[in-house]
Amino acid sequence: MSKENEKDIKTSPEDNLVITKHKVKINNKEIKYTATTGTIVLSFEGTNQKDKKAEFEASKPKAEVFFTSYVKDGIRNKAKRPITFAFNGGPGSASVWLHMGMLGPKLVKLNDTGYTKPPFELKDNQYSLLDETDLVFIDPVGTGYSRPIEGEKRKEFHNLDKDIESLAHFIRLYISRNERWLSPKFLAGESYGTTRSAGLSGYLQERLGIYLNGLILISSVLDFSTLRFANNNDLPYSLYLPTYTATAYYHKKLSESLLKMPLEELLAEVEDFVTNEYVGALWLGSSLAPQARKDIIVKLSYYTGLSKDFLDKTNLRINIMNFCKELLRNDGKTVGRLDSRFKGVDKSGITANFEFDPSMAAITGPYTATFNDYIRKDLEYKNDIPYEILSYEVFGNWTWGKENEYVDVSETLRKAISMNPHLKVHVTNGYFDLATPYLATEYTFKHLDLAKELEANISMSYYEAGHMMYLHEPSLKNLKSELLSFINKAK
């Protein structure tokens, strides 16, 4: 471990919490609430890696976990008040995006599809869910201000199983200390945070006896075979295609006849092509007849705006990074991965991939500045170590614990719902999301193999925005309405 990283490891395992009082107007009603922010020492029994015969080692301090909670004042019966635990993904991301972009009482002011000029600002979030549920935003170890205790190795937290285990024990500790065992409980995760949520649904039930009312999965990925472009995996090439079409539609790179169609109608047409023609062509591989190959290339060009020559050279298989660079290459622009509505400009126009994701670049500065200001001024929490909004140290050293197979937590979710048939799941999808495309999510849930009587436990909503659909205020407004309905039905 580098000396720079050693400086961030905390050596004094003590809780450090700050409590402040606030109010916000939501749906024209004033909500008074208490904010608690800071770090708590997380102790739990972990797998003993040195002795495989011993199931658990003694409970001991393992990490200081940073969180921010918002609890509505004046609630007499906590058993009737829902509580939602929220986190982002990465892996390696702090919870700041859901905190300051969607769920919390403050919202980052942004230029929806461009670069916001500094200095940046916050505003009250009239679409916060605080009117309906208390909120707890958790930063997994290695993100935000969360760090391992001295003697604990960072890498022990940077894997699928330990990540789920540590988050589960934080939730257990929080509901115990705050007397919330009987409250309706929800998880809200985004991107890899949805992977974490599905894993937690099983661990919380089977290991800790904590049954959830609902999962809010924002831009979901449960089965990574749907997203991993590889020579032996044709699945993503078909599942990404409608999102390529949506992106070309947004940037007006399709024919006039297609641009005149409502987006949803066009996407339904493309999905039909994927199901009835494209998947079969990919499956045939080199045995695909020459004329059939030409016909597929013509239709791919028609639905993506990409040249026939380019598609021929891709062997009918469009990689996401190549698409982000190629679609607007002649305009000297690139499109975003997280949100393909965003445009960027690279140094070189001849590379295969973009230099940076313009949708990520556009939001990192505003969220970093506003959160660091807000946490110190409004919530009165002081900490001089860096707040790791996106930790590339975590992401770069993550281990998935799967050899020769893709990570897939969909079976964990299926079993959790089967064991707890009251567990409801709502999935949100952005049409311009090239990180977790909506058709890949639909494919996963269609193959969940739930009992027929439990299929109604799953609901989905769609938005004309990207991975973080809440950046688009009309989508955020609709999202609030969908989630209010979901929570009221599930609690």
More confident residue, 79 or 61: 79
Question: Strand pairing partners for 344?
Answer: 334
What per-residue confidence (pLDDT) applies to 143? 96
What per-residue confidence (pLDDT) applies to 46? 52
Task: Tell me the angle at which helices 438-446 and 241-250 cross, rounded to the nearest 10 degrees.
Answer: 150
Per the structure block, which two tokens stand in for 132? 């309906």
What per-residue confidence (pLDDT) applies to 136? 98
What per-residue confidence (pLDDT) applies to 392? 86
* pLDDT tier at 209, thresholds 50, 70, 90: very high
More confident residue, 392 or 171: 171
Would you give the DSSP letter of residue 35? E
Q: Provide mean pLDDT across the span 475-486.
A: 97
Q: Provide mean pLDDT across the span 360-382.
A: 96
- Judged against a pLDDT cut of 90, whether residue 239 lies above it is answered with yes
* pLDDT tier at 129, thresholds 50, 70, 90: very high
Q: Provide mean pLDDT across the span 126-154.
A: 93
Please write the tens of the pLDDT for every residue from 145-184: 999 988 888 888 899 999 999 999 999 999 999 999 999 9
- Measure the CA–CA gap between 59 and 12, rounded to whole angstroms: 17
- Judged against a pLDDT cut of 50, whether residue 49 lies above it is answered with no
- Judged against a pLDDT cut of 90, whether residue 53 lies above it is answered with no
* pLDDT tier at 3, thresholds 50, 70, 90: very low
Asked if 243 and 219 count as a contact pair (C-beta separation under 8 A), the reply is no
Q: Provide mean pLDDT across the span 210-219.
A: 98
Q: Provide mean pLDDT across the span 358-368.
A: 94
More confident residue, 332 or 45: 332
Q: What are phi and psi of 126, to 5 degrees?
A: -70, -10
Question: Got the DSSP string for 87-135?
Answer: E--TTTB-THHHIIIIISSEEE---TTSPPPSSP-EEE-TT-STTTSEE
More confident residue, 63 or 258: 258
- Judged against a pLDDT cut of 60, whether residue 367 lies above it is answered with yes
What per-residue confidence (pLDDT) applies to 200? 98
Give the end-to-end CA distance of the chain in Å, rounded to a whole number.
45
Single out the residue of 186, 209, 210 nearest to residue 489, CA to CA: 186
Per the structure block, which two tokens stand in for 233? 């995996």
- Measure the CA–CA gap between 103 and 135, rounded to whole angstroms: 8
* pLDDT tier at 2, thresholds 50, 70, 90: very low
**What does R_g of the chain's alpha carbons equal in angstroms?**
23
Q: Provide mean pLDDT across the span 359-372.
A: 95
Q: What's the longest Cα–Cα distance across the chain?
A: 72
pTM of the model: 0.93
The whole-chain average pLDDT of the chain stands at 92
Polymer length in residues for the chain: 491
Between the alpha carbon of residue 398 and those of residues 144, 158, 401, 430, the distances in Å are 17, 5, 9, 26
Find all residues with CB under 8 Å of 104, minimum gap 6, and list them. 68, 70, 98, 125, 128, 130, 135, 137
* pLDDT tier at 61, thresholds 50, 70, 90: confident
- Judged against a pLDDT cut of 70, whether residue 59 lies above it is answered with no
Q: Provide mean pLDDT across the span 367-382.
A: 97
Helix (H) or strand (E) holding 459: strand 458-463
What per-residue confidence (pLDDT) applies to 60? 79
Per the structure block, which two tokens stand in for 330? 């002649």
Please write the tens of the pLDDT for every residue from 243-265: 999 999 999 999 999 999 999 99
Chain region(s) in the chain for CATH 3.40.50.1820: 3-225+363-490
More confident residue, 53 or 26: 26
Please write the tens of the pLDDT for every residue from 294-319: 999 999 999 999 999 999 999 999 99
What per-residue confidence (pLDDT) applies to 317? 97
Domain 3-225+363-490, CATH homologous superfamily name and number = Alpha/Beta hydrolase fold, catalytic domain (3.40.50.1820)
What per-residue confidence (pLDDT) applies to 6? 46
Share of the chain above pLDDT 70, in %: 94
- Measure the CA–CA gap between 164 and 44, rounded to whole angstroms: 12
Q: Is 3 exposed, middle or buried (0-12, 13-18, 19+ CB in 10 A)?
A: exposed
What per-residue confidence (pLDDT) applies to 45? 63
- Judged against a pLDDT cut of 70, whether residue 55 lies above it is answered with no
